[in-house]
Amino acid sequence: MNTIIKIAWRNIWRNKRRTFITIASIMFALFFAIIMRGFALGAYSNMKENAVESYSGYVQINKKGYWDDKNINNIFTIDKGILDKVKSTENVKTVIPRLESFALASTGETTKGVAVMGISPERENEMTKMKTFMKEGEFISENDKSVLVAEDLAKYLKVEVNDTLVLYSSGYHGTTAAGLYPIKGIVSLPTPEMNMGTIFIPIKEAQNLYSAPNMFTAIALNLNSVNDVDDVISDIKVFVNTDEYDVLSWEKMNEELLQMIEADNAGQLIMIGILYMVIAFGILGTVLMMTNERLREFSVMISIGMQKYKLAMVVVLELIMLTIIAIFAGISISLPVGIYFYNNPIQFSGKEVEAMKSFNLEPSMPMSIDVEVFAYQALTISIITLVAMTYPVIKIFTMNVVSGLRG
């Protein structure tokens, strides 16, 4: 066995240039694949996280049908006892009540349709970290009768902190909803859409405005981890009447985003597939050359008494060692780059920012350094060499030793 390893190892370095070229091509393919996947997966999880943490939460409880028909009449009250049970469900971190609807916001001169988010400020902040988005003024508290206005909306309405806004809408069951609210602060929201049309108001005030005391459009849940979603949903469904309520997962609430990610992902996998195809032909070429130029040598070894399986082991070991070296090289050049971009996400500037914002994307590109990113690429290369390996092995078992010797 030692001899076999020794022969295999030395064979790798027999044609140094070819070995280096092979290793380098695998290494760069791995590098590109890992970096590409790293950015993509990083971006995807960032988008999901944003969607979840800035709005949907991991799980939401709604009145049945609300998600498809977001209407002020589709709201609900919930039994305090049930709400307590939801709160004490395992892995539920925060329970976030909301009452949201639409209204016309007016300053007298300018009027605009806006989303009115009735929130429980402190709890909302626990999940969305809203306080970090504060631009001017102060954050609202539970019993305030004032509002927060999104930055671009404030500009559009030409209002500042301490100015007063009129909100006008229709309330629960067709009542008239109207109110006068001083602006307590201006918030800068991550997506342009939200930034142009959102007003936050303490939930009690929202319930007053819409004549919907103790009613909610949603109870959003923040969980310890995305992995707890399914468990939490099935736990909740035990005591929440599913004829009356929907218990939705973040995936259900972010279907469009997930579809977009899936499409993008598929496109990228095709590109990486093409890259690997090129690499596969390169590896196959090396293996073909390496096999065919050694047929005489193989014939001599078999002639003098080396069993074919042992000879096959030499060649297989050569390819395994070559692959391991190449994978190791590929990972060791991409890991530092990955770690760097993980810690220092690329920040876009100038025009790109607007472009990205208009797609509801954050203008920064974080990198995923998940083991998965590396493992999949290493696995792909391994499968390619495994396939390439069959050529010399079959050749060794089927070759004609005599013609190899005459060769």
Partner 1 sequence: MSVIKIKNITKTYTETEVPVHAVNGVDLEIEKGEFTAIVGPSGSGKTTLLNMIGGLEKPTSGNITINDTEIENLSSSDLIDFRLRNIGFVFQAYNLIPVLTAKENVEFIMSLQNIDKAEINKRTISLLESVGLGNRVNSKPTQLSGGQQQRVAVARALASKPQFVLADEPTANLDSVSTSQLLEIMEELNKKENMTFIFSTHDQRVVDKAHRIITIEDGKIISDVRK
Pair 337, 35: CB distance under 8 Å:
yes
Closer of 3 and 358 to partner 1 (Cβ): 3
Nearer to partner 1, 13 or 68 (CB): 13
Q: Residues 6, 87, 129, 158: which binds partner 1 (CB under 8 A)?
A: 6
Binding mask 89-128 for partner 1 (x = CB under 8 A): ----------------------------------------
> Whose Cβ is closer to partner 1: residue 180's or residue 304's?
304
Asked whether 404 and 303 are in contact (CB, 8 A), the reply is: no
The Cα-based distances of 220 to 99, 104, 292 in angstroms read: 11, 25, 66
Give the nearer residue to partner 1 in terms of CB position, either 164 or 403.
403
Least CB distance to partner 1 at residue 302 (A): 6
- Pick from 296, 340, 354, 390 the residue near partner 1 by CB under 8 A: 296
Applying CB under 8 A, among 161, 300, 321, 324 the residue interacting with partner 1 is 300
Window of 57-65, 129-137, 293-301, 346-354 that interacts with partner 1 by CB under 8 A: 293-301
DSSP 117-141: EEE-HHHHHHHH-GGGGEEEE----
Compute the least distance from the CB of residue 301 to partner 1, in Å. Answer: 7
Question: 255 vs 293, which CB is nearer to partner 1?
Answer: 293
Examine residue 80 and tell whether it contacts partner 1 (CB under 8 A).
no
Provide, rounded to whole angstroms, the least separation between the CB of residue 389 and partner 1: 19
Between residues 2 and 88, which has the closer beta carbon with respect to partner 1?
2
**What is the per-residue binding string for partner 1 in 9-28, x denoting contact by CB under 8 A?**
-xx--x--------------
End-to-end CA distance of the chain: 29
Residue of 130, 133, 126, 121 whose CA lies nearest to 221? 126
Q: Which is nearer to partner 1, 238 or 304 (CB)?
A: 304
Query: Interaction with partner 1 in 304-343: which residues (CB under 8 A)?
Result: 304-308, 310
Residues 6+ apart with CB under 8 A from 96: 57, 119, 120, 123, 124, 126, 127, 219, 220, 221, 222
Contact call for residue 292 and partner 1 (CB under 8 A): no
Smallest gap from Cβ 280 to partner 1, in A, equals 27
Closest alpha carbon to 360 in 126, 189, 133, 154: 189
Beta strands 59-63 and 218-223 are: antiparallel
- Convert residues 363-402 into a mask of x (bound to partner 1 by CB under 8 A) and - (unbound): --------------------------------------xx
Among 244, 297, 352, 372, which residue sits at the site for partner 1 (rule: CB under 8 A)?
A: 297
CB 222 within 8 A of CB 116: no
Closest distance of CB 402 from partner 1, Å: 5
Which span (98-106, 154-162, 231-239, 300-308) binds partner 1, by CB under 8 A?
A: 300-308
* Residue 174 makes contact with partner 1 by CB under 8 A: no
- Of the candidates 221, 201, 223, the residue with the CA atom closest to the CA atom of residue 212: 201
Q: Supply φ then ψ for residue 272, to 5 degrees.
A: -65, -35
CB 399 to partner 1: min, Å: 12
Query: How many residues touch partner 1 (CB under 8 A)?
Result: 23
CB of 258 to partner 1, least distance (A): 54
The site for partner 1 (CB under 8 A) is made up of 2-3, 6-7, 10-11, 14, 296-297, 300-308, 310, 401-402, 405-406
